[in-house]
Copies of this chain bind each other. A is one copy, B any other.
Amino acid sequence: MASSNSGETGAGLVLRSADPLNCETPISALMGGTVTPNENFYVRNHFRVPAIDGARWRLEVGGLVRRPLRLGITDLVNLPAQVQTATLECAGNGRAFLAPPVSGEQWELGAVSTAEWTGVRLAEVLDRAGLKSGAREAVFRSADRAIGRHSRGAGRFEWSLTLDEVHQADVLLAYAMNGQPLPIQHGYPLRVIVPGWYGVAAVKWLTEIEVVGQPFRGYFQTEKYVYEWERDGRLEREPVRQMRVRSLITEPDADGEVDIGPLAIRGLAWSGVAPLARVDVSVSGGAWQPAELFGQPSTCSWQRWELLTKVSGPGRIALRSRATDGAERTQPEQPEWNRLGYGNNAIQEVSIRARRPRSSFAGR
């Protein structure tokens, strides 16, 4: 944060794959603020970004409803608005650190970002459509299309939530991101936001909501986004849902240099399961020290944290942070391996080097 004098907005994105486009957020873009600027917000696509004409685009709401709806953007904007700051994390964030390695995008730590989303509550739209008895789930369908080598198992991106899940998460249909229309790579003109859940549920380029009476068995939620591991020779499976508790060290820079003397260690922490209870920090293997948490505890959005300490001599220092949520879940020491590499919320270690100071308080 202290090294730029260019006035530039900074580091942009780190490209992981070009087709489909997948990029992660540089940790340096996560210093200091709550929301991530749109140009630094991580991008996760399963297929190519579709071409969409906003004037012709419509959202169809059908299935087990009394009044099927066909809504243009103007219709949605004229419904009561809801503003929600929500953190989105790719379930595969941290996959690159699993051993043995697993296939899939090799995300390091930056497939997570936070935005202030504006839109319409899904409940508001479903109330206008009117649910029929027997309605159990809402299926979200995207305008994207599988082509060529990306086509196996799915023609387009689909995801469902039970109506209980819709209610509990207070799902938003978002048309704006940090006060701007959704950028096309983030789902223009409309995206599902499921606060607290991994980003996979945040369907982009939404064109259809179908209310169904039976559990939806789509490819992405039955074949793909599933924790899978063996225990006692048996295959265990669990669907990917809420974000696991996790923390990230954003300051000081990994592999950076710091002055001997006062040192601020800062970062972000979140859990989609329960609001954070605490974040602890350990310096070079020392005892866990409680960090100060800023902002309101919430399963929707990350919180900033800070620990002020002192560095007494030169050399290597290892910093670790560990978040614990109100459901008493905490970060494991080592990654919990699973076949497709989801939910790696292991404790992060950042190594820095301390040196003699170059500037200081006068008189210190």
Instruction: Give the B-binding residues of A (Cβ under 8 A).
Output: 1-10, 29-39, 52-54, 58, 67-75, 77-81, 83, 116, 118, 128, 175-176, 178-181, 183-186, 188-189, 251, 259, 261-264, 266, 292, 294-295, 304, 306, 308, 358-363
Contact = CB atoms under 8 A, between A and B. Distances in A.
Contacts of A362: 67-70
Contact of A33 (B31, B118, B361): B118
Given A29-B179, A83-B294, 18 more contacts: A2-B77, A2-B181, A4-B181, A31-B180, A32-B83, A32-B176, A33-B178, A33-B179, A34-B179, A35-B116, A67-B362, A69-B361, A69-B363, A71-B361, A72-B359, A77-B264, A80-B308, A81-B264
Interface of A is mostly: loop
A5 B118 contact: no
Given A35-B35, A181-B4, A362-B70, A80 B30 contact: no
A70 to B, nearest CB: 4
A211 to B, nearest CB: 15
A261 B179 CA distance: 25
Given A2-B73, A35-B116, A83 B9 contact: no
B75 A361 contact: yes
A77 B1 contact: yes
B308 A181 contact: no
Given A9-B39, A32-B179, A38-B37, A262 B361 contact: no
19 contacts: A2-B77, A4-B181, A5-B53, A5-B184, A7-B183, A7-B185, A9-B38, A9-B183, A32-B83, A33-B118, A34-B116, A35-B35, A37-B38, A68-B362, A69-B362, A70-B361, A71-B359, A71-B361, A72-B359
Q: Can you tell how many copies of this chain the complex includes?
A: 2
Nearest to A39: B9
Nearest to A119: B32
A179 B3 contact: no
Contacts of A74: 2, 259, 359
A345 to B, nearest CB: 23
A88 to B, nearest CB: 16
A261 B53 CA distance: 23
A209 to B, nearest CB: 14
A179 B2 contact: no
Given A9-B39, A251-B77, A362-B68, A54 B181 contact: no
Contacts of A118: 32-33
Nearest to A8: B183
Given A32-B180, A34-B179, A178-B37, A83 B359 contact: no
A298 to B, nearest CB: 14
A4 B77 CA distance: 14
A359 B78 contact: no
A308 B79 CA distance: 8
A5 B116 contact: no
B361 A7 contact: no
A81 B69 CA distance: 49
B262 A180 contact: no
B128 A361 contact: yes
